Amino acid sequence: MTRRHLLGLLSAIGLAPRLARAANPSAAARIEPLQLSDAQWKERLNSTQYQVLRHEGTERAFTSPLNGEKRRGRYLCAGCDLPLFSSDMKFDSGTGWPSFYTSLPGVFGFTADYRLFLPRTEYHCVRCGGHHGHVFDDGPAPTGKRYCNNGVALKFVAAEA
């Protein structure tokens, strides 16, 4: 059973929203979960987005146009349009993926990922459960965090002039 299937099962029995709220009770409590069937996700997402968001895949480094995005704006979840980051939070990590030193409050749930033997902290959208990436402790001030995000898991909305 994959983590995605486990989250779906927990959601179906009413536990997933409680687990997501544990990360930030005040903000996550206001975010209504989006639950779609696998067929609905396949209609909503392209094949790469589906693999990353629904099956915890990873896009190839340096392939996302959002990695070089410099305009002011917001980054939304490609699965459900939940605002996740502002452009003020973005920095160039040199890793090949869009990177942010923090996120908007309460938008992610966190889990331990041991797929590469060393533990990493994986993060998922609290609304749709979509996998976005991993957070590391090698980012810039003021947080020291690096949210290493798959670009295909994001939509960029430029700020209006």
Hey, how many other C-beta atoms are within 10 angstroms of the C-beta on 14?
8
For residue 50, give the DSSP letter: H
Contact 133, 153 (CB under 8 A): yes
Pull the structure tokens for residue 99.
Answer: 């990177």
Hey, how many other C-beta atoms are within 10 angstroms of the C-beta on 91?
13
CA distance 55 to 157: 25
Name the catalytic one among 77, 80, 128, 148.
148
148 is catalytic: yes
Chain mean position to CA 92: 18
Point out the residues that are catalytic: 148
